[in-house]
Amino acid sequence: MGVTTAGDLAVRDLGRIAYRDAWALQKETVAARRAGTAPDTLLVCEHDPVVTVGRGTKGEAVLDRRFPVEEVERGGEATYHGPGQVVVYPIVALAPGARDLHRWLRALEEAGLRTLAASGLEAGRRDGATGVWIGGTRKLVSIGVAADRWVTWHGLALNHRTDLAHFAAIRPCGFDAQVMTSMEAELGERCPDREAVVATLVDALREELAPFREGAAS
């Protein structure tokens, strides 16, 4: 597990890690951030196959229980995590003037948009649906967040070289699984490697999240 910095934002690269282990580490990091014993931190990882079910889940979201299912605190509905995703959990103490989770979601989306644009993918948003989309019909980035006394956790998952067939186990964020796509599916041989994607995403998050951080908000 490597620890670097992006400005004064700590970046911990966890590699491939079981969802429950990363979930526990998020909770530990949130508690340390609240206590002032840890800096704002990005936890970067990918997971073994797992389905997480957020607080906004409606109806029968899990269609096939071939993967473990975890009920979690974030907003949003069911999503799948697995190898080939870039998952980032920002643990950030929101400044008193920036405690707006809707704006926070938009900032995470913007970081995803910038990351895809750097690889030549023109993506955007979809009215009424969180995340990053191509043409409003193909989803590349899923986002779900929570906050504990205004320290954020949970975060975003970018489909890099993900097995898209695994999404058929759920209704991702309430949609048909066919909406899900990946950088590899869109770019083919032009798809950048994981190291490049992570570096671009971390840089974009550092800039987009700076206005929310204590000492940086206007």
The amino acid present at 119, given as its one-letter code, is S
SS3 label, residue 68: coil
Catalytic annotation, pick one of 92, 173, 183, 201 = 173
CB 206 within 8 A of CB 6: yes
Q: How far is residue 115's CA from residue 67's CA, in Å, rounded to a whole number?
A: 29
How many helical (H) and strand (E) elements, i.e. helices and strands, does the chain have? 4, 11
Query: Is residue 173 among the annotated active site residues?
Result: yes
- CA angle, 46 then 48 then 49, to 5°: 115
The residues annotated as belonging to the active site are: 173
